[in-house]
Chains A and B, each alone.
Chain A
Amino acid sequence: MTSGPRIVVTGLGVVTALGADRETFWKNLLEGRSGISEVQSFDTSAYSVHRGGEIHDFEPERHLERLVPERTGRASQLAAAAARGAVEDAGLTSGAPRVPPPERIGVVMGTTSGEPREVERFDDAFVNDDVGAVGAELVERYPNHVIAGHVAAELDLAGPNVMIPTACAAGNYAVAWAYDALRFGRADAMLAGGADAFSRITYTGFARLGAIAPERCQPFDRNRQGMIPGEGAAVLVLETEERARTRGAEIYAEVAGYGLSCDAHHMTAAHPEGEGAARAMVAALAGAGIDPGDVGYVSAHGTGTPTNDKLETIALRRVFGDRTSRVPVSSIKSMLGHTMGAASAIEALVCSLAVRDGRIPPTIDFDEPDPECDLDVVPNEARETPVEWAMNNAYAFGGNNASVLFRRWVA
């Protein structure tokens, strides 16, 4: 669909292990810092792995004005903090000039797990035969839609409120939903993002699958050992170009197109020929009206597992052909770990900054190329080069694939 208003990014907010504001985060990312550390939020002595991308210094009371942290799950806290950052960045705080009324500002968020710590609390009581004291939180605080709800409650937003829990592709899905909603006139501005909190449940699951690396997350490296679970949140403010101009808002980038597809193949393993992933990329390119050759940067899903990175390379090759080895493809999961439903939202934020600044974040801890992943992974050091089009790819359990294209904005 090429007709219709252009959709632009006017605000960015983020909470990660590498910073709880856009500037700090971007600086740390470009310096190739690692946000991976020893897990502290629960006891990992019964596990064979102990590293994670936890945020150790998040102080919700420093970010939240309406929500009460004690009554709000962690993913919601991270989401609301990132959202407040985005809204302030966009100049959309109430009282600022030409801000749409609250009922015309909506929220769409993605997540993988919702608020799993609420289930953990319940389970701790359950196994101690104490379930009579718990349960309400499963209804009031666990269901994933409370994340988008809490963002709206924190910022007093009354527009469409949507939760898209499509696991590790969710952030891209949220951006895609916002894109269409704005073009249909369902809102004047949309907050779109993703959030996930570190949890014992998620860590146990990936550990049980043998998917967690013992030390580092090394996407596309020949000796990569796996992924490292992390946490975080990112929120983008999206508007039509016309509204952004009317408000005099600064524009980071344009959301130029997206593609969604489903593998329909396996719950936890991607299609062996990268077919679904390729379809999502092709649809995004078609939506933006460009060729693969126009793409200047790919923010990869790049989890660091032997399988994902190999299959992702196959998918990229299907789309980019001979050019594949010449397109910069980096994975910031090397620095943050896999932040689950937040990942593609954080990466969308990164793409917006990449096209604005002409800077590409590196894939760090890259020691040895893998012939099966013969990509330019922007190893270890950020690169300075103009980027006109950036593609953000994300792949999820359940076979959900999503690609979003960002374009440099020229005023």
Chain B
Amino acid sequence: MTGTRKIRVAVTAAGVLSPLGHTAHDLFEALLEGRSAVGPLTAFEVSGKLHPRAVQLPEEDPERWLQGKNLRPLDRPGRLAAAAARLALGPEDDEEEDELRAQIGLVLGTMFGSVHTVSKFDRRALTHGPQYSKPFDFANSVINAAAGQTAIWHRLAGVNATIGGGAAAGAQALAYGADLIRAGRAEILLAGGAEELCFESFHGFAQAGLSCTNGGVAVPLHARRSGFVPGEGAALLQLESEASATQREVPILGWLAGSGTSFDPSRGQDPDRAADAVRRAVEAALADAETDPEGIDALAVSASGSPAVDRAEARGLGAALRDRAATVPVTAVKGALGEGLGASGAFQATVLLEAFRRHMLPGTVGLDEPESDLPLKQAGVSPREGAFRCGLVTASSWDGNACALVLEAP
């Protein structure tokens, strides 16, 4: 299609509300140092789980980024998203900003939305009667509530969307945001995701056998991995057309050069089809970015410690990158950040963009024994040096979604 190739999508800011820091720099430094945000679960009680582990944001987050207005209408996912937006946009300054903000859009990825709020609303109606349920909670129960609250908080009146996609939601949000800019629907928007750690999802993951319980190994790509550690956070990248970034004279952190998204119709039941979905997403992203496997310098994968998903992702990358898969350096941020679901895609993208700037790629926390049978051979605890200029973010959910993004250095 003529015209779309001509609009390049720049990344011009990053809002990172992570358990290891609230700037791209701080998060990156923490990962280089091999620090992990995995710790004991303290935010709520879960019975029957020995030593439950989680990744939790510091207590002062997200509220410390949301001063000066009434916070009561926002539930926690709304606050996480609004805080990440605040970190991307910077402090509110003046009226000139107001005009700019009115054009800024938002594409937010999330797996659960406000499941805790939905459950809370329903439980109160059950125990007290429907007339005593809380309207604020109902307003926040719609899955697009966090995106709506963020738009209200920051007066962002550009195109606004929420995207599901399970664990791949964040990457899909970045792809969707980039396509909106390429299609001329927006000049500037924030894209990424937010996810809250809550009893409902934590308990659900344990019951479903997806999270790592009772002291197992929750390390991506590890030979003895047995599940992930549930996490939380929010991250939004400011995406902007090249023309807008040039006109506004803002620094360009990198380019979102291409994306691909695909699906495994077996929804994770067939390992070959699961890997194939990843392969097709990666190949589509490479084609979209007009590059090839040899052009890829680094991988920021979504591997989390899940036996099946890590394997499917690695096999899919192996099939798509062929010989390059064995030689390209790999980082898996979920070793340190846990399974951040909707937030993960933008965390991975942020780390890759920092890698371009710093010529270093962080190691993967805890990965002292990578599974030898996987096509990715360059994953381990140690950071890697290199002239990284182009890389892949991949996202793979255990129930079928696969998404890949190509990022390029400025």
Binding site for B on A (CB under 8 A): 1, 3-5, 46-47, 102-103, 106-107, 111-114, 116, 119-120, 122-124, 126-127, 131-132, 134-140, 142-146, 148-149, 152-153, 155-167, 173, 177, 180-181, 183-186, 200-201, 204-209, 260-268, 276, 396-400
Contact = CB atoms under 8 A, between A and B. Distances in A.
A319 to B, nearest CB: 17
6 contacts: A123-B123, A152-B400, A153-B265, A208-B135, A264-B151, A399-B151
Contacts of A263: 151, 157
B265 A398 contact: no
B277 interface: yes
- Report which residue of A127, A137, A264 has the largest number of chain B beta carbons within 10 angstroms of its beta carbon: A264
Given A149-B401, A201-B118, A261-B157, A180 B183 contact: yes
B143 A123 contact: no
A75 to B, nearest CB: 12
A119 B208 contact: no
In the A-B complex, the 4 residue pairs with the closest CB atoms: A398-B148, A163-B164, A262-B160, A205-B138
A112 B122 contact: no
Contacts of A116: 118
A136 B185 contact: no
Interface in B12-45: none
B302 to A, nearest CB: 15
Contact of A46 (B129, B263, B277): B129
Chain B at the A interface: SS class: mixed
B163 A139 contact: no
Contacts of A127: 123, 126-127
B316 interface: no
Contact of A267 (B115, B152, B154, B164): B152
Nearest to A127: B126
A207 B99 CA distance: 38
Contacts of B180: 180
Contacts of A205: 121, 133, 135, 138, 141
A46 B160 contact: no
Interface string B359-380: 0000000000000000000000
Given A5-B1, A201-B122, A262 B151 contact: yes
Contacts of B118: 116, 119, 201
Interface in B130-147: 130-131, 133-135, 138-145, 147
A207 B262 contact: no
A208 B210 contact: no
Contacts of A148: 164
A49 to B, nearest CB: 10
Contact of B399 (A131, A146, A265): A146
B158 to A, nearest CB: 7
A164 B161 contact: yes
Contacts of A106: 263
Given A5-B1, A167-B143, A162 B133 contact: no
A273 to B, nearest CB: 13
Contacts, number: 269
Interface in B100-122: 102, 105-106, 111-113, 115, 118-119, 121-122
Q: Which of B73, B118, B123 has most chain A Cβ within 10 Å? A: B118
Contacts of A157: 263, 265
Contact of A399 (B105, B112, B148, B260): B148
Contacts of A186: 260-261, 284
B130 A165 contact: no
Contact of A204 (B47, B105, B133, B261): B133
Interface in B143-188: 143-145, 147-149, 151-152, 154-166, 169, 172, 176, 179-180, 182-185
Given A180-B179, A200-B122, 20 more contacts: A113-B141, A136-B207, A145-B166, A149-B263, A152-B263, A152-B265, A156-B265, A158-B265, A159-B263, A164-B163, A167-B143, A167-B144, A204-B122, A208-B133, A260-B185, A261-B160, A265-B152, A267-B145, A398-B144, A399-B152
Interface stretch (B198-206, B322-330, B344-352): B198-206
A4 B207 contact: no
Contacts of B156: 262, 264
A260 B107 CA distance: 12
A149 B267 contact: yes
B247 interface: no
A142 B198 CA distance: 15
Nearest to B78: A267
A357 to B, nearest CB: 31
A177 B176 contact: yes
Contacts of A139: 201, 204-205, 207-208, 210
Contacts of B166: 143, 145-146, 149
B123 A126 contact: yes
Name which of B115, B144, B205 has the most chain A CB atoms within 10 A of its CB.
B144
Contacts of A158: 262-265, 273, 276-277, 280
A161 B263 contact: yes
Contacts of B131: 46, 208
A119 B115 contact: yes
B246 interface: no
A136 B204 contact: yes
Contacts of B1: 3-5, 183-185
Contacts of B71: none
Contacts of A135: 200, 203-204, 206-208
A106 B262 CA distance: 8
B48 interface: yes
B244 interface: no
B91 interface: no
